[in-house]
Structures are given as C-alpha cells and as structure tokens.
Amino acid sequence: MSEPHRVRVVLPQHLRTLASVSREVALEVEDPVTIASILDALDAAFPALRGTVRDHLTQQRRPFLRFFACEADLTHQPPDAVLPEAVASGQAPFMIIGAIAGG
Amino acid sequence: MSKVRVLVGTRKGAFVLESDGKRENWQLNGPHFAGWEIYHMKGSPTDPGRVYASQSSGWFGQIIQRSDDGGRTWHQPGLPAGQPVTTPEGMRRVDSNKFAYDTSAETGKPLTTHQWYDGTQRPWQFRRVWHLEPSLGDPDTIYAGVEDAALFRSTDGGRNWNELAGLRGHGSGPQWQPGAGGMCLHSIILDRDDPGRIYIAISAAGAFRSDDGGATWKPINRGLRSEHIPNPTAEIGHCVHRIAMHPSRPGVLFMQKHWDVMRSDDSGDSWREVSGNLPTDFGFVIDVHAHEPETIYVVPIKSDSEHYVHEGRLRVYRSRTGGNEWEALTNGLPQKDCYVNVLRDAMAVDSLDQCGIYFGTTGGQVYVSADAGETWKPIVHDLPAVLSVEVQTLP
C-alpha cells in the first residue's frame, strides 16, 4: 500500500476560526487524491468543520463555496475525479473559497 | 445582590452583557462567532452557566455552540477543535450540527411535503435553527425550532439531535408554507406544571400543542383570522409571529400574529383578538411581565410591507389588562425619525423584584427598562442588527 499524500488545504477565514487553525492545513490523504478524499480527510482531522463545506445530509458542496487549485476552478469536477499531481504532491494547495458577497 | 446577563444574537455575532441588579452599568463580552448570524442564544433555567447558541451562515450552514461558563468560552458540544471524528475503537463521535428529518419507516421517503411559493409540494430541507429552548429541569435537554419548520430535541447537551416528528406527521404538513422569512418554527413554550405540554408556533402554519411530550400534536388556531390565506379562518396557514405565556398561568397564551394581537384562556383551544387601541396591530414580539400575568408588552410595527415602527416613533405598548387597553411607553426611546424593527425573538424580561424589560432593534440598539417599562435606556446602541435578546436573572 502506498504512503498517503500530504495535501495542503487553504481554508476560508471562518473555517479557520472554527477549527482553530492557521490559513493552511496539511492533510494526509490516501491515493487517489480527489475532492471527495480531501474533504473526507478534512472532516476526519477537524470534526468541527463537518457539515460546513458539504451539507451534512446530502454531502453536496455548499452553494457559496468553490474549490480552486493550480490556477483552475475545480468546483464542478466530479467529486471522485483525480486532482492534478501538483495537489497530490503538496506542491500546490487545494483552496476552499467562499463566494464574495456584501453585507 | 442579584445580577442579570443579557444574551444578544445579531446578524454578525453574539454579545453577552452583564450588570448588577441596578441594571445601570453594563459590561460587554463579545463579539463571539464574529461574522456569523446568531439567530438565538438561551441559558438553562437550572444551570445558568449553561448557554446554547445557534450560529449559522449562508456559506457554511449550521453550528450549535455551547458555553458552560455563562458565555465566556464556547465549544461545539462534545467536539473540541482538533478532536478526531472517530474514537480509537472506531466509533463515530457526535453530530452536534446535524439535523436530519425523520423519514417514513415504511418507504424511507420524506415523511411529508409542504407547500412551496409556486403551489407545488416540496420535501423538507434543513436550513437553520431559529430558536433554542432549554428544558426547565435538565440542562442537557434542549429543544430546537428549525427552518424548514420542525422541532428537534437533544438529551445529551446538544451533541445529538432527534426530530419530534409527530409535529410534521399529524397530517397538515402539505398545507404549511413559508412566509417571506422562510418556513420557521420560532416559538417553543414549555409548561413547568405539566412536563408533557409543549406549545410551538410556525410561520406560516400556525400554533400547535402537544400534551404528551412532543409525540403527538394538534393545531390550535381556532379564532385566528388571516386575510392572506384563501379561507381566513382555516385551521392551518396562519402566520403566527410569536407566542408568550406566564409560567404561573400555563393555560393563558398571548400571540402576536402577522396582524392582530390575540389571547387564549384555554391553552390555545380558542383565541380572541385583544389588539384594542394599538396604533397598528402588526408586529413581531410579545412578552409577559415576570410578576404580573396580565401585564403584556408588544412593539407595534407599521405594516407587513413597512417593517419599522409606526410614525417614526419607537414605542413599547403595555397592557395591564391582558390586552385591549394599551398604553404607549416612550420615556427614553427615540420619538422622531426612528425606522427600526424589533424581530420576533428580540424581547425578554428578567425576574428581579422590579421586573426588567429588554428588547433589541435592527438598528443595533438594546434597550432596558428597569421599572417595567416606565423609563428606558440603551444598554448598547451600535451593535449589528439584533436578531434575538434573552435574559438570565442570576443569584
């Protein structure tokens, strides 16, 4: 069995506060590295965040959140699609972005 | 000397204010959960240190927070930050933010559907917790009124939540519909003399009562009249904004409906209008004096299309006769160019000998009257829009 990947994840400010972490966290993610496997690892490492990125019941992405990496918007990729090698290797962070809105 | 603690939920965080019994000098603690909507906070009647908060966001969903030290520090129940989601034995820990509606035991499909704005039927979808009501006897037992409207209960301090599905399951669900603010269960009243009796109210379905601890429910809307539904006196469909009860008289209920202030003397089985001489009977809040069960308070709002106080004057109206005869209380409140609203969960009373009345506005002010409404002063005046106000009277 291969070693888990060490993936860097950038969190929006409110989730950093909830999880009591800094801007970026490092997660151990089993191969293959996908959106779903990263979010599963995030939930496991930081249970305070469960239900905040994906709906608790449906496991669907919350509508005002998007996923960026390697200067690309990966939001609408299938959750089980393999992400770029740069994410799996930790060279590029996987970014969870909150939609900009006023008020 | 007794103290009071005021729990203020706002559009952008939670604030805790404390004073001694004079209620003149206040210390502010907050903001907690800065940037999040705090629809409601409430403390346990039996353990004043235990306070629950509903923290939500359009981005990140619902979080339940709990304090065991009177609002100084907070945590998600059973889930300190960094704690693994599974135990070393592989057991899942808690789901303190998970509100899963019951489904049909036979089919596994949604228990019922409700009416959507376009007249179609939709299954329930959880959005947020509007109101938290701690049990009168056990600090670990707490009820949550949620949108889409349903009642949940936790018996382990907020770690796990289960729906009291008899409320949606009694048959009228398909007639329930969201108001402009959503289809929310916003009022929960527990009867200290009868642990089995629970009252709740929903916008826009009406008021309901359980006499068996939440297992079964009946609508209690006879006497209500609402022109916004095809049959104005229908059993279901009324936009109840708030109900209130004095603990010493559990059979007497007061209601601020979308329009109309109402009263029931038979545990909600029938209602009669007591709007009397109010300048407008639209409004959101209604509450009862701590020591005078016939003294009630409302804040009239101009109309359902103009959600601010009437004539630019912030006036609390008090009735000492259980309704119908109302007097304006204005001393210390702005009487010119004021256009704030007072939302349904934003009024509370303390139980000091000289009853204190509190309310918060969408303009960010929280006012107190330490003399039952005769005079008012702001505790704070520059908070974010206030969503809820609760008070704890402390020894």
3-class secondary structure for A57-68? CCCCECCCEEEE
Q: What is the pLDDT of residues B327-369, one digit of tens each?
A: 999 999 999 999 999 999 999 999 999 999 999 999 999 999 9
Contact check, Cβ <8 Å, B76/A53: no
Within a domain: B315: yes
Can you give the residue range of the structural domain that contains B260?
A: 36-345
Mean pLDDT score of chain B? 94
Residues of chain A below pLDDT 70 = 1, 102-103
* The token pair that represents B54 in the structure block: 């509903």
Within a domain: B24: no
Please, is B291 exposed, middle or buried when counting C-beta atoms within 10 Å of its C-beta (0-12, 13-18, 19+)? Answer: middle
Which of B181, B167, B168 has the alpha carbon at shortest distance from B130?
B181
Within a domain: B8: no
Which of left, alpha, beta for A88 (phi over 0: left; psi -120 to 50: alpha)? alpha
Which residues of chain B does A13 touch, with a Cβ-Cβ cutoff of 8 Å?
35
pLDDT at A102: 61
pLDDT at B104: 86
CATH number of residue A59's parent domain: 3.10.20.30
Which residues of chain B does A14 touch, with a Cβ-Cβ cutoff of 8 Å?
35-36, 57, 59-60
Contact check, Cβ <8 Å, B97/A43: no
Cα–Cα distances (Å) from B266 to B210, B253, B254, B290, in that order, read 14, 8, 11, 21
Within a domain: B1: no
If one counts every other C-beta atom within 10 angstroms of the C-beta of residue B44, the result is 22
If one counts every other C-beta atom within 10 angstroms of the C-beta of residue B380, the result is 19
Number of domains observed in the structure of chain A: 1
Within a domain: A103: no
pLDDT at B92: 54
Phi, psi dihedral angles at B251 (to 5 degrees): -85, -10
B81 touches chain A (CB under 8 A): yes
Contact check, Cβ <8 Å, A51/B61: yes
* Among B55-64, B115-124, B214-223, the least confident range: B115-124
Contact check, Cβ <8 Å, A99/B59: yes
List the single residue in B60, B82, B83 with the smallest CB-CB distance to A15: B60
pLDDT at B81: 44
Q: Which helix (DSSP H) or strand (DSSP E) does residue A45 occupy?
A: helix A35-45
Can you give the residue range of the structural domain that contains A55?
A: 5-98
What is the 8-class DSSP label of residue A87? H
Within a domain: A61: yes
A62 touches chain B (CB under 8 A): yes
Report percent pLDDT > 70 for chain B: 96
Within a domain: B238: yes
Terminal Cα-to-Cα distance of chain B (whole angstroms): 7
**Residues B278 and B324: beta-carbon distance below 8 Å:** no
pLDDT at B315: 98
| Better pLDDT: B105 or B325 | B325
Residue A17, helix vs strand vs coil: helix
Contacts of B209 (CB under 8 A, 6+ apart): B197, B198, B199, B217, B218, B220, B267, B268
* Among B93-97, B194-198, B335-339, the least confident range: B93-97
Q: What is the mean pLDDT of residues B144-172?
A: 94
Contacts of B150 (CB under 8 A, 6+ apart): B99, B101, B124, B163, B164, B165, B167, B168, B185
* The token pair that represents B348 in the structure block: 């509370």
Q: Which helix (DSSP H) or strand (DSSP E) does residue B202 occupy?
A: strand B198-203
Q: What is the pLDDT of residues B252-267, one digit of tens each?
A: 999 999 999 999 999 9
* Alpha carbon distance B91, B85 (integer Å): 9
Number of domains observed in the structure of chain B: 1
Q: What is the mean pLDDT of residues B193-210?
A: 96
A66 touches chain B (CB under 8 A): no
pLDDT at A57: 86
User: Cα–Cα–Cα angle for B374, B377, B378, nearest 5°?
Assistant: 145
**Residue given tokens 């009977």 in the structure block:** B281
Judge whether residue B214 has pLDDT over 60: yes
* Alpha carbon distance B250, B194 (integer Å): 9
CATH number of residue B123's parent domain: 2.130.10.10
Chain B residue with CA closest to A11: the answer is B60
If one counts every other C-beta atom within 10 angstroms of the C-beta of residue B105, the result is 8
* Alpha carbon distance B50, B62 (integer Å): 20
B76 touches chain A (CB under 8 A): yes
**Pairing mode, if any, of strands B37-43 and B27-32?**
unpaired
Judge whether residue B12 has pLDDT over 50: yes
Distance of CA A98 to the CA centre of its chain: 12
Q: What is the pLDDT of residues B265-304, one digit of tens each?
A: 999 999 999 999 999 999 999 999 999 999 999 999 999 9
pLDDT bracket for residue B312 (50, 70, 90): very high
B63 touches chain A (CB under 8 A): yes
Residue B295, helix vs strand vs coil: coil
Within a domain: A73: yes
Q: How many CB pairs under 8 A join A and B?
A: 66
